[in-house]
Chain A
Amino acid sequence: MKIASKIYSALIFIFLYAPILVLVVFSFNDTETGSRTIWSGFTLKWYKMLFEDRLLLEALTNTLIIAVITAVISTALGTMAAIGINAMNKRTKKVMLTVTNLPMVNPEIVTGVSLMLLFVFFVQVFGGKSLGMVSLIAAHITFCLPYVILNVLPKLRQMNPNLYEAAQDLGCTPFKAFYKVVLPEILPGITTGFIMSLTLSIDDFVISYFTSGTTQTLPIYIYSMTRKRVSPEINALSTLLFAVILVLLIIVNVRNSKDKKEGKAN
């Protein structure tokens, strides 16, 4: 039985990581044409080409700028919303939660098209520049918000509400009490929300496609390569992104476990 369960989990891991492994391996593949099936030697040339490809780097820069701004704004807004929702009575809370979760279950294509129509309408009525970076960020915030709320809310529910009142009893102003007591309690939820919005924003294709105007994000750029073959530069780029995210996660986790150990020692 034990062996079976081990084989089972090994299989799961293979399924999860085999594609990434193949991608990483073929980012070092030395072929003229960049075959994705035949291995013919080790090279770093795709990495070199990646850093020479201005269009790709521009798309990447756009994507990262949008992702960071989106994540910061939606984390701030989402945390505030979660605190507000948490303080509501049961009935309004339920209604609010349904409303905020709708964008999450709504098909992306519907969200994308409706946002595009809204933005075009907005530009035509109020003037201003056509769709671009701003509309992209607005769209991304829209679909990231529910995830932040969903991550922060359980942390608020777990927290003892008396703590906040106690802090005020002991002389804290409401803001200071929030900053000193509530925020540290819900921080893990906020961090997860932040990282989720970041990845969701980097990842998004459908909604970005409709709301991007003349701006180009990385997923759109990669998709447009389908008339010709997708260049192994993309493998190289994905490998780098994967490595960065992996390192980030390891840092976060190591720090988390350190904090826990210190907490126990105290």
Chain B
Amino acid sequence: MKKLSKIFAILFSFLFVFASLPFVSFADETEAAPLTGVTINVYNWGEYISNGTDGSLDVNAEFTRRTGIQVNYTTFDSNESLYSKLAGGGADYDVIIPSDYMISKLINEGMLHEIDYNNIPNFKYIGEEFKNPDYDPECKHSVPYTWGMVGLFYNKDHIKEVPTSWEILWNEQYSGKILMFDNPRDAFAIAFCRLGFHLNSTDSNEWEEAAMLLKEQKPLVQAYVMDQIFDKMESGEAWLAPYYSGDAGTLVEENEHIGFIFPEEGTNNFVDAMCIPITSSHKAEAEAYINFMCDPEIAGANMDFVGYSTPISDAKAYLSEDVINNEIFYPSEELLSNSEVFTSLPSDISTLVDSLWAEVKMGGPGDSLTLILIIAVFLAIYISIIIYKKIKRKRELM
């Protein structure tokens, strides 16, 4: 018994040391607003907010200090997992930050509150070009958080000529050195840009054609990845990879051998925006949070840490000159006009996209026949084992 209690003692002390840490580091803050007792649940992308490490601003703590509203901040890894969590009904979020096409899907399904913009005076700081987006046509449900464009990372040591086109991703010379997005919307967008179609096409033939192009590319692709591109590009294991411009900051500036371009065929321009789900029970507090995030000073400090571009022009005053004048983060009008924002696809098309994407990645239609065969083989093995055992037992009895 003594042994067990020792283990408990060690475990609990470990627990409490960790539990007390976050509070210790904020003990020196002064003039904080009294706590209102309300906690809002915020759901954002992973590593997508300034969190106080390395001397940066802890955005959520600052919000609590100013308003007395506490924040339960949690993170997701993809728009699709955010959707499944919301649709499952298991969670009451007050502020969510999905991307463009997911927002229009959520609006179409009536899953978002209409935001009362009177409660968000800082909305005036949002750049005009973001105020009437395609994904939220009347601009009733969302306030932009970040934006960026998809571009191409390339290895300068091995690719001497600066690439200008997505075509290089189909170049057999670089077979085995090419990386691709591991999600259907982004991967198809590249094929669409090459074919010159609209990214939000509702023509199933165009999707089939794009899928053919991706299948054609598959033998050249080293891997379908998301965050592994950082390591693979840095180490030179891969030479070409499409990814988000917001990540160019770390990758290009700290590695001399890596370059970043926006291909001439155009590209996808994405916006992540803040919304309030219909299930939220603290709408006013959620609006206060959104308003706080649009404060130019906060947005500036936040984007300085996150590395993506801010839709708030006044926030640029708090960012370094290098970043603002960098075409990668704040591209010219000309580049912008050559890009397109995703919107939601009709349900029959999005089902088609899912099955086409599965085909591309598996190298053929995943037919049910194979599945049945596999199950049959397993069953056969199982049955033969049982029969073998029975025979053995009978022999032993004899």
Contact = CB atoms under 8 A, between A and B. Distances in A.
B91 A190 contact: no
Nearest to B10: A248
A104 interface: no
A122 B394 CA distance: 52
A228 B247 contact: yes
A191 B4 contact: yes
Nearest to B61: A54
A248 B9 CA distance: 11
A155 interface: no
B78 A37 contact: no
Contact of B92 (A68, A212, A214): A214
Interface string B31-52: 0000000000101011110011
A211 B235 CA distance: 39
A259 B230 CA distance: 52
B18 A61 contact: yes
B197 to A, nearest CB: 26
B10 A227 contact: no
A58 B78 CA distance: 21
Given A54-B61, A61-B18, A191 B7 contact: yes
B203 interface: no
A252 B7 contact: yes
B90 A191 contact: no
A213 B91 contact: yes
Contact of A53 (B45, B51, B231, B234): B51
Given A52-B53, A53-B51, A187-B4, A130 B91 contact: yes
B90 A229 contact: no
Interface in A26-42: 32-33, 35-38
B254 interface: yes
Interface in B324-368: none
A52 B21 CA distance: 9
Nearest to A130: B92
Contact of B72 (A38, A57, A214): A214
B231 A36 contact: yes
A51 B76 contact: no
A3 B162 CA distance: 55
A164 to B, nearest CB: 17
Interface in B1-39: 1, 3-4, 6-7, 10-12, 14-15, 18-19, 21-22, 25
Interface string B78-101: 100000000011111100000000
Contacts of B12: 68
Contact of B46 (A194, A212, A226): A226
Contact of B91 (A51, A214, A228): A214
Given A65-B15, A120-B89, A213-B92, A227 B4 contact: no
Nearest to B58: A54
B77 interface: yes
A227 B227 contact: yes
Contacts of A259: 3
Q: How large is the interface on B (under 10, 10 to 19, 20 to 34, 35 or more residues)?
A: 35 or more
Contact of A221 (B46, B91, B227, B234): B46
Contacts of B204: none
Contacts of B75: 55, 216, 220-221, 224-225
B89 A32 contact: no
A58 B22 contact: yes
B125 interface: no
A26 B91 CA distance: 36
A33 B378 CA distance: 47
A157 interface: no
Among B60, B74, B76, B92, max chain A CB count under 10 A is at B74
Chain A CB count within 10 A is highest, among B46, B58, B92, B247, for B46
A215 B46 CA distance: 15
A224 B18 contact: no
Contact of A55 (B15, B51, B90, B231): B51
A33 B54 CA distance: 13
Given A130-B92, A227-B77, A51 B41 contact: no
A60 interface: yes
Given A33-B254, A183-B1, A227-B78, A248 B7 contact: yes
Nearest to A241: B14
Contacts of B247: 228
Contact of B45 (A32, A183, A224): A224
Contact of A187 (B1, B54, B88): B1
B199 to A, nearest CB: 20
Interface string B249-260: 011001000000
A131 B47 contact: no
Interface in A189-209: 190-191, 194-195, 198
A226 B52 contact: no
Interface of A: 32-33, 35-38, 49, 51-55, 57-58, 60-61, 64-65, 68, 116, 119-120, 130-131, 183-184, 187, 190-191, 194-195, 198, 210-216, 220-221, 223-231, 233, 244, 248, 251-252, 255-256, 259
21 contacts: A52-B25, A53-B52, A54-B22, A54-B52, A54-B60, A61-B22, A64-B15, A65-B15, A68-B15, A187-B3, A187-B4, A191-B7, A210-B90, A214-B41, A220-B75, A223-B77, A224-B75, A226-B77, A226-B226, A248-B10, A259-B3
Given A227-B47, A228-B247, 4 more contacts: A49-B54, A211-B90, A212-B90, A227-B77
Interface of B: 1, 3-4, 6-7, 10-12, 14-15, 18-19, 21-22, 25, 41, 43, 45-48, 51-54, 58, 60-61, 72-78, 88-93, 226-227, 230-231, 234-235, 247, 250-251, 254
